Every structure is written in C-alpha cells, then in structure tokens.
Amino acid sequence: MTETSQRPAVSDLSEGELLARIFPLLGPATGTVVGPGDDAAVLADHGGPVVVSVDTLVEDHDFRLVRVNGFRTSGYDVGWKSAAQNLSDINAMGGTATALVVSLTLPPQTPVDWVEDCARGLTAAIRGLGATGCSVVGGDLGGGGQLVITAAVTGTLDGRAPVLRSGARAGHTVAVAGTLGRAAAGLAILEDGRPVEDFGSPGEELVAAQLRPYPPLAAGPAAAAAGASAMLDISDGLVRDAGRIATASGVRLDLDPSLLRRYADPLLPAAHLLGVDPMVWVLGGGEDHGLLATFPQDALLPPGFTAVGSVVPGTPQVTLASQATALGGWDHFAD
Amino acid sequence: MTETSQRPAVSDLSEGELLARIFPLLGPATGTVVGPGDDAAVLADHGGPVVVSVDTLVEDHDFRLVRVNGFRTSGYDVGWKSAAQNLSDINAMGGTATALVVSLTLPPQTPVDWVEDCARGLTAAIRGLGATGCSVVGGDLGGGGQLVITAAVTGTLDGRAPVLRSGARAGHTVAVAGTLGRAAAGLAILEDGRPVEDFGSPGEELVAAQLRPYPPLAAGPAAAAAGASAMLDISDGLVRDAGRIATASGVRLDLDPSLLRRYADPLLPAAHLLGVDPMVWVLGGGEDHGLLATFPQDALLPPGFTAVGSVVPGTPQVTLASQATALGGWDHFAD
C-alpha cells in the first residue's frame, strides 16, 4: 500500500461504519431467508445435497498490490478473483452456486476505497459470470499484517450426481471448457519488467485473464447433464490437474498436442516478446479456471467443450501424443 | 515462531505430503456424500434451509503464539477456538452444525507439528463440544506472512425457524447460557507479565476458557424450541452484544447486577491479583461464546439458561438496574 495518505484508511472507521459502506455494494442477498447482519445467514431451501468449498487469496503470495513495472492490482480485481475461483469449485462438481460468505483480513492502512472496490469486484464477478441465484450473504472483517481474502461457497446439484475426479475410464474423451494458458501468459507479462502497454491490447487482455478469470459456469452443470465421467477445474495447470484425474481414476490421460495448438497460437505474439514457447503456458499454466472433463465415447460434448485427448489404459500419468512429458515432472506436489 | 530449527517446517513438505498428515487427524467426514479431496465437498441432504457463517483468527491480532510471560498458544488451541467460534454462530441461530471447511494460511517456517496440532484441535472441539454430525469436510492450504485460520460452517435448523436479533419485546426475560467473563479474565492473565502458574489452578482454568472456549451447543436449539424471541452469541461482551439485540429489536435491555454476581464472584481471586473489578470482565469481556437470548414471559427457560434481566420499552440501549452504564460507552463500534 502506497500513496494512501490522502485516502481514508480502514483504521479511520469503526467496523460498523465499514460494513455500512460495504453492504450496499453487495446487492440484495438473493435466495436467503436471513441475509447479512445476524450471527449467520440462512439460505432458502434448495433441496438436495449442499456443495461447499473454500479458497483463500493472500497478498504477496496469490496477488501483488504493486508489480515491479508499477502495475497495480485493484480491490476490484482481488474481489473478482476470489469469487471466480470459489464459483469455479462448485462448477467443477457440476453444481450451481447459491451463496458466498467472505472474510477480509485488512491491514489498518488499507484504503477504504480499496475495500469498497473489492466488494464491487465480488458482486461483479457473481453477476458477470452468470451465477444468478448466488450472492454474498455474510462475512467477517478483521485486522492483520497483510491482506487476506477467504471466501467459502455453497452450491446445489439440482438433482444431478456430483462429478468426481475418479470416474475416467479407458476410451473416454478428454475435453476442456474455457481458456488455457491465458492467465499464465498474463502473469508472465505482469512479472516482466516492461509496462503492460508494451504488449498492446492483446497483452492487456491476457493480464485481464490473470486478474479477472472467467470460469465457464454454464459448462459444469452441462457436463454433468451430458454424463461427464470425471471433472475438475484447471487451477494449477492442465498437466498437473489432468494428473489428478489420472491418479484418482487409475488411468492414463493422453493429450493431443495438435488439439492444443488452438490455445497456444493466440498466445504467440506475447510469447515471442517474452521469448517463451506458449505451449508451456497451455500445459503448465493455472488460474484460468477452465474445466477439464472426461466423457464416455458415446456422449455428445456439451456446448463449450473441446476435445483435447483421450483416456487410455495404463499407469496413472499424463502423456503428450503417448510420450511422457518433461512438464509432467513439473507436478512437484506429490498428490 | 521460535525454537523451530529442530522441527520440520511446512516448507519441507509438498502440499500433498502436508495434506496426507492432516487428513487422518480430521476423523471421518461424517454426513457427506463427497468428503475432502475433490474440488468441493458434498453434504448429505439434511432438508430445509442451510445456515452458513465464516470466522477468521489472525496471528498477533486474534491470538499470540508467544506471550510476554513466555506462554505459548498451541496449534491445538487455535484449531479448537476456530471451530468453537464457528459452531457458536450456528448455535446462536438455533441451528446445529453440519460441516466445517477450513483455510489455513501458513508462513513457510510454521512447524509441521503445529499444523497437525491445529487439525487435532479442530476435531477435538467438534467432538468435545458435542457437534455430532459435523466434521471438517474440506479446506485450503496456502502460504502467507502470518498465520491465518478461516473456517466456514454450515448448519441445519431441523425444521425450526431461525432465532434472529430482532424479536425481543418489552416484558420478555433476558437470559444467558454458558459462561461470562471467564475468557476475558484468562486474557488478562495472559497479558499480565507474571507466569500463569502464579494464578494457581483457577487461573489456569481461566486461561483455558480464553484459549479453548466452550460454547453451550445444546442451548441454541433448546432456546429455539422454547420460543426464544431473540438470540446471539456473546463474542464481543455482554453489554455490547446486548446492545445489538436492543438496536435490532428497538427495545431497552435492562440487566440486573444482582443476577450477574454469580458470574463475577468466582473471578474474584484472579481479579484481586490483577487489581480489577471482575464485573468489568462479566459486562465487557467477549470470547466466552455463551448465548444471550430473550424469552416471552410465559416461556420456561430451557436448561442451561439463567435470567439476567428484562426487556423494557424505551430508546434502544442497555442499562444496569435501569441506570445508563459507562460500559455502554465501551461499545465503540457504532453498530
């Protein structure tokens, strides 16, 4: 936080005053019996099982307020990303989100307008991504040494069975919904010393993909309805996340590089400026929060999904055109 | 964190290795269709509305790993408290908890055994407080500059209406379940320079009340069943929290000091050693996570509740024997 001397900070307000600024920015608490302001929120009865997940973003670990090139991450960006990654977890089970609760840990010098922007970003993501029926229904505010935002999300399956990671079988099609490599390309631009403007408007769009990811929320329930046998959201990179399906299902996932070119080719200009192979972003980059799913041979791929490979028998691993890939070794978390 | 050189730190393990240490300490994921390990957990269908809340504990703000007197807060304590304060929020609505999701932000030097202890504390609180049917069903692990633990909790109302803060009416009885002032007394002992042992075993029990609060989880649903008109959990102090019911309900809550002596008297030895009036702890101390509720005149107080005052007409405020109290001014958050 710099250049904050002219802006009111959260330490200038009481908790109640800060909440009074935030609540109007969250919009109405749709689908609730009791919204924000009591000990807990009460959601309208959706019937059926409840899907629940939690995700955290930490300053200087998951985002940087100011980059080496002077680029500033706004509260809006952080709010958007927090909502998006949580909504994506419900999407990856084949569900639809019903509510978010959000905890903000704020250093005392945090500008009030940064927090207001964060609330706007949460709301904008919920609406912009099409999570109708979902809203921020409660939260927690507190002090800390660095900015931390944790959101927990609930969802419903609308009568469908959840799509797990363990149902991929030999012969099934491997498919992707959403984008691949764009968020990683945006991160590479942000971590480069040059101003973002040097990468032109395509570069700015890649930075936007990193800051405000666009998980395809219609695709998760559509995949579940189409009979997807396994699914997860690609948050840590295609190869690594494909490895998780391979491990959970006891199969090999073979990706077809020729089918992945369509994701790499649009990244060529930025990749050229940065001197990298864009396939590294497509195969190893996370945070796009697209979906990776497998479908039985006879299933029609639902709208938004593109085939990128197939499930084959064998030791659980991920291969590229049947070849072990060095990028497989990039999966350094042994899960 | 000090004296960690001989203990493995989280930076020595992969995320998967750390999760493999934690999962067995969480016990079975009761009441779930899908437990930890997928994109989200799926809870068994409880029917009816879902209650949801979130609470965060931050190192050096909500807890201190090492006190001036050398006292160390364990991972077990922090895990217990995180679970307890979340379970208490569901209790305060008259509900019963069904699941916790927990996000841990860990500095790289955090000892692995501290994290394992935290998982044990979460599980111990759920079981020790009697939250049968609840378990930790998922979570998130990440790095950060200071320890932060955020838990979100879901619950069910078992067919009852939620008990809000807004239903208190003139003539209703004001009652408390659980303890008052003990956590604040424990905090005062921890913040004193002397070793905890100087306060004897009663002092150690007060410190335990601060570190591992004991919200009365049977009392919330019992209050709802008995027709409680308003309820919240006392997390910020009796007067301040009573003020919230007064404001939400548009009434005055008059507390009877003679009925509060039973909470203050056991604190006299510690108060004497620290040179304070124990009523300050009873009226202003939070973190016991007892319940404050109001009941219609004709309602029988359910087991565990003790009358401490009455609801009277008038400007929303809290009085002590009909007198405005200086402690009311301690309610510095203007909500």
Of the given ranges (A83-92, A132-141, A325-334, B250-259), which has the lowest mean pLDDT?
Answer: A325-334
pLDDT of residue A286: 87
Residues B123 and B268 in one domain: no
Candidate from B14, B93, B103 with C-beta closest to A54: B103
Inter-chain contact B54–A140, Cβ cutoff 8 Å? yes
Q: Does A335 reside within a domain?
A: no
For B39, the closest of A17, A89, A334 (CB atoms) is A89
Q: For residue B326, what pLDDT is reported?
A: 64
Identify the domain containing residue B227 by its residue range. Answer: 173-330
Residues A249 and A105 in one domain: no
Give the range among A254-258, B12-16, B146-150, B224-228 with minimum mean pLDDT. B12-16
How far off is chain A from B157, nearest CA to CA, in Å? 9
Is residue A286 domain-shared with residue A325, that is, in the same domain?
yes
- Specify if B225 maps to a domain: yes
Nearest CA in chain A to B47: A47
Residue B184 and residue B143 share a domain: no
B167 domain residue, yes or no = no
Per-residue pLDDT tens for B171-196?
Answer: 999 999 999 999 999 999 999 989 99
Radius of gyration of chain B (CA): 21
Residue B322: both structure tokens together:
């009909």
pLDDT of residue B335: 32
Q: How far apart are CA B44 and CA B50, in angstroms?
A: 12
Residue A199: which CATH number? Answer: 3.90.650.10
- pLDDT score, position A326: 65
Identify whether residues A278 and A139 lie together within a single domain.
no
Interchain proximity B56–A146, CB inside 8 Å? no
- Residues counted in chain B: 335
pLDDT tens for each residue of B264-303: 999 999 999 999 999 999 999 989 999 999 999 999 999 9
Give the pLDDT of residue B334. 32
Q: What pLDDT was estimated at residue B282?
A: 97
The verdict on A147 and A29 lying in the same domain is: yes
Domain identity same for B150 and B189: no
- Provide mean pLDDT across the span A175-204: 95
B43 shares a domain with B137:
yes
The interface predicted TM-score (ipTM) is 0.93
pLDDT of residue A293: 98
Residue to mutate among B54, B62, B65, with most A CBs inside 10 A, is B54
Residues B204 and B315 in one domain: yes
- Report the candidate in B94, B102, B82, B103 with the shortest Cα–Cα distance to residue B29: B102
B142 contacts A58? CB cut-off 8 A: yes
Together in a domain, A185 and A146: no
Q: What is the tally of structural domains in chain A?
A: 2
When CB atoms are compared, the residue of B38, B58, B102 closest to A144 is B58
Distances (CA, A) of A39 to A23, B85, B163, B232: 16, 11, 10, 6
Task: Give ∠ CA B196-A143-A61 in degrees, rounded to 5.
Answer: 110
CB contacts, 8 Å: A101 with chain B: 52-54, 152
Buried-state track A133-167, b at ≥16 Cβ within 10 A, e below 16: bbbbbbbbbbbbbbbbbbbbbbbbbeebebbbbbb
Provide the 8-state DSSP code for B265.
G
> Model confidence over A3-61: pLDDT tens digits?
545 789 999 999 889 999 999 999 898 889 999 999 999 999 999 999 999 999 999 99
pLDDT at residue number A328: 46
Query: Which tens digit of pLDDT belongs to each residue from A50-98?
Result: 999 999 999 999 999 999 888 999 999 999 999 999 999 999 999 999 9
Which of A100, A130, A156 is a domain's end point?
Answer: A156
Distance of alpha carbon B147 from alpha carbon A287, whole angstroms: 24
pLDDT at residue B329 tops 70: no
User: Taking 80 as the threshold, does the pLDDT of residue A327 lie above it?
Assistant: no
If asked whether residues A191 and A280 sit together in one domain, one would say yes
Assess whether B136 and B182 both reside in one domain. Answer: no
